[in-house]
Amino acid sequence: MSGDAWFTLDWSDEGVVLLDQRILPEEEKYLTLATVEDVAQAIETMVVRGAPAIGCTAALGVARAARVSGASDLAGLHADLEAARARLARTRPTAVNLFWALGRMAEVEAEAASEPGATVASVGEALLAEARAIVAADVEACRALGAAALPLVPEGSRILTHCNAGALATAGYGTALGVVRAAHDAGRGITVLADETRPFLQGARLTAWELDRDDIPVTVITDNMAGHLMRKGEIDLVVVGADRIAANGDVANKIGTYSVAVLAREHDIPFYVAAPTSTIDADTPDGDAIPIEERGREEVADFGGRPVLPSGVPVRHPAFDVTPAALVAAIVTERGVARAPYTESLAEQLRGA
C-alpha cells in the first residue's frame, strides 16, 4: 500500500526532526528535538535507530548544539560542542557510524575554527553544511551499494532479511533494503521474508511497514521459522545490514543475525552484508573487540506492552551479535562487492575513500 511521502530524519530551524519509530506502524508522528539532550535521549530510546541513521542524527545533533550554543567566542563554542559530542557518544556503543560521524564533526569544527576570520556563526554554518553532507552522502551510498549488489540477486530471488536495515535505519533507501529496492526497481521480481526480530520487532514493525509503503512484496515470519523455510528451499539468499564491521570482516548486527548466518551456511544459502564504508571500523581488528550493547529488561520481559514472564525472573538482553567473517559470502558497500579475505578487500575499499 503506497502512502504519503515520509522521511526518517531531517533538519529544521526548530530542531532535529525524527520520525518516531517506537510507534510505527500504528502512528506516523514526527518529533522536533530542540536540544542535544533531546537528541541523545531519542537515540537511546529508539525513536531513531539503525547504524547509519544514528550517525546522521548525531551529526545533526552537533549542528543543533552549535545553533543553540549562545557562546560569544570560539572557545565557548568549542566547550559546548565537546560536551555535545561526549553526550551523543554515550548513547549507544555498538554502531560505529555514531563515532564516525562525531569524529567528522570534530574535524570540521577544527577546520572551520582555524579559517581566518572564523566566528561562532561561521563555524556553526560549517557544521550544519557537514551534517547535511553526511545525510546526503548516506543516501547516495545506499543507492550505490544497491546497484553494486545487483549481480548477487538473481531473477525471482526470495530474500530473507533480519531487523530493519532500510530507509528507516539510514538517511533514506537503506542498506540491506537498498539491495532489495535496487533489485525490485531493476524488475528482478524479488520477494522478501522479514524476520520479526525479537525483542524490539524491527522486522515486523519497521521492515514490513516500509516495504509495504513501497509496494515491495514482504512476508513476516517469527525468528524461529527461518531454519524451517531454508530447509524447505524457500529462501534463496540472505541480506542483512551491519552496525560495525571489524577489519577482518567479522560483522556485528542485530541479535539473531549470527543464528541466521549459521543456518544459511548449513543450507548452502549465500549470506550477504550490505553497509556503507562508514560502518567499517579499521581500528577494531575482529569481532571480539566490538562492544556489544546490553539493553534494559523491559524490551525482553514485555511484549506489546504486557509482561510475558514472571516478574522476578532475570533476562539477558545483548542487543547485537557477531557473525564471523567465514560465514559471510560478500560485504557490499558503495564501493563495490568485497569478498574474503576481508582484511585485504575491506582495507582496499577504505583506501578508496
170 binds ligand MRU (CB under 6 A): yes
Kindly tell me which residue out of 9, 16, 50, 258 binds ligand MRU, with binding defined by CB under 6 A.
50
CB of 339 to ligand MRU, least distance (A): 20
Q: Decide: residue 265, CB within 10 A, 0-12 exposed, 13-18 middle, 19+ buried.
A: middle
Closest CA relative to residue 141, chosen from 174, 164, 97, 109: 174
171 binds ligand MRU (CB under 6 A): no
Number of residues in contact with ligand MRU under rule CB under 6 A: 17
57 binds ligand MRU (CB under 6 A): no
Kindly tell me which residue out of 66, 269, 273, 319 binds ligand MRU, with binding defined by CB under 6 A.
319
Return the sign of the alpha-carbon dihedral for residues 254, 255, 260, 266: positive
Instruction: Please state, in angstroms and rounded to a whole number, the distance separating the CA atoms of residues 301 and 256.
Output: 17
Whichever of 49 and 104 has its CB closer to ligand MRU, that residue is: 49
Q: Per the structure block, which three cell numbers stand in for 117?
A: 576570520
Structural contact between residues 155 and 148, judged by C-beta atoms closer than 8 angstroms: no
**Hey, which residues does 246 pair with through a beta bridge?**
281
Structural contact between residues 23 and 209, judged by C-beta atoms closer than 8 angstroms: no
CB of 146 to ligand MRU, least distance (A): 12
Q: Per the structure block, which three cell numbers stand in for 216?
A: 515491495
Structural contact between residues 330 and 270, judged by C-beta atoms closer than 8 angstroms: yes
At 56 the three-state DSSP class reads helix
Kindly tell me which residue out of 8, 57, 253, 333 binds ligand MRU, with binding defined by CB under 6 A.
253
Question: By beta-carbon distance, which residue lies closest to ligand MRU?
Answer: 241
CB of 293 to ligand MRU, least distance (A): 8
Whichever of 21 and 157 has its CB closer to ligand MRU, that residue is: 21
56 binds ligand MRU (CB under 6 A): no
Contact letters (x/-) for ligand MRU, 101-140, by CB under 6 A?
----------------------------------------
Active site residues: 243
Whichever of 49 and 64 has its CB closer to ligand MRU, that residue is: 49
241 binds ligand MRU (CB under 6 A): yes
DSSP state of 318: B
Q: Per the structure block, which three cell numbers stand in for 305?
A: 506492552
Q: Per the structure block, which three cell numbers stand in for 22?
A: 517506537
Alpha-carbon distances of 3 from 177, 211, 214, 318, rounded to whole Å: 18, 11, 8, 35
At 321 the three-state DSSP class reads strand
243 binds ligand MRU (CB under 6 A): yes
Structural contact between residues 231 and 263, judged by C-beta atoms closer than 8 angstroms: no
CB of 115 to ligand MRU, least distance (A): 34
Whichever of 238 and 319 has its CB closer to ligand MRU, that residue is: 319
58 binds ligand MRU (CB under 6 A): no
Structural contact between residues 225 and 208, judged by C-beta atoms closer than 8 angstroms: no
Whichever of 69 and 91 has its CB closer to ligand MRU, that residue is: 91
Whichever of 51 and 246 has its CB closer to ligand MRU, that residue is: 51
Binding site for ligand MRU (CB under 6 A): 49-52, 95, 163, 165, 169-170, 175, 202, 241-243, 253-254, 319
